[in-house]
Amino acid sequence: MQANLLVFDVGSTYTKLTAFRLEQGDLEFVARSQAPTTITDIEIGIVNARQALVQSGVQVPDDAKVFSTSSAAGGLRMVALGYMPRVTAKAAKEVAMSAGARVLEIVSHEDLPEYRLEVLREIKPDIVLLAGGTDGGDQQSLIENAHIIVQSEIKAVIIIAGNKEAQSQVAGIFTDHNVPYIRVPNVMPTIHELKVKPAREAIHEQFIKQITQAKGLNKLLDIVSNKKVTPTPGAVLLGAELLAKGTFLEDGVGDVIIIDIGGATTDIHSVMPDLEKLTIEEKGLIVNNEKQPSYRTVEGNLGLRVSATGIVETIGPLGVLAKIGYNSEEVAEQLVAYTEFLEKNPGHISQSPVEKQFDLALAISAIEVALKRHAGYIAQDFNPVMGIMPGTPVGRDLRRVKYVIAVGGIFTHGTLADKQFILAEAFKNPGISLLPLKPQFIIDEQYLLYALGALGSQYTDLCGKFAKKYFKINLKGNEHETN
Residues 349-367 as b or e (16 or more Cβ within 10 Å = b) = ebeeeebebbbbbbbbbbb
**How many angstroms separate the CA atoms of 374 and 396, rounded?**
8
For residue 105, give Cα distances in angstroms to 147, 274, 456: 18, 33, 32
d(CA 66, CA 44) in angstroms, rounded, equals 16
At 313, which amino acid appears? E
Compute the distance between CA of residue 295 and CA of residue 298 in angstroms, rounded to an integer.
10
The helix/strand/coil state of 404 is strand
Report yes or no: 199 and 184 within 8 Å, Cβ to Cβ: yes
Do residues 410 and 445 lie in contact, with contact meaning Cβ atoms separated by under 8 Å?
A: no
Sheet holding 26-36, edge to edge: 26-36, 14-23, 5-10, 65-70, 229-231
Q: How many other CB atoms are there within 10 angstroms of residue 468's CB atom?
A: 19
In angstroms, the CA 373 to CA 370 distance is 5
DSSP class of residue 459 equals S
Closest CA to 81 of 192, 181, 175, 176: 181
Query: Which residue from 72, 80, 138, 100 is spatially nearest to 238, judged by alpha carbons?
Result: 100
Interacting residues of 131 by C-beta distance below 8 A, sequence separation 6+:
80, 81, 82, 83, 88, 91, 92, 142, 161, 162, 186, 187, 188
- For residue 384, what pLDDT is reported? 64
Closest CA to 97 of 262, 207, 255: 207
| CA dist., res. 203 & res. 79, Å (int) | 12
- Sequence-separated (6 or more) residues with CB below 8 Å from residue 211: 70, 72, 73, 217, 220, 221, 229
H/E run at residue 43: helix 42-55
Alpha-carbon span 182 to 47, nearest angstrom = 36
For residue range 347-365, what is the model confidence (pLDDT) as tens digits?
Answer: 888 989 999 999 999 999 9
Beta pairing partners, 237? none
Q: How far apart are CA 288 and CA 102, in angstroms?
A: 21
Q: SS3 letters for 92-116?
A: HHHHHCCCCEEEEEEECCCCCHHHH
C-alpha distances out from residue 433 to 19, 226, 334, Å = 39, 42, 31
Q: State the Rg of the chain over Cα.
A: 23
CA distances from 453 to 8, 207, 321 (A): 12, 17, 36
CA distance 194 to 118: 28
pTM (whole model) above 0.75: yes
Predicted local distance difference test score (pLDDT) of residue 93 = 77
Digit-coded pLDDT (tens) for 60-88: 999 999 999 987 655 678 899 988 887 87
| pLDDT < 50: residue spans in the chain | 476-483
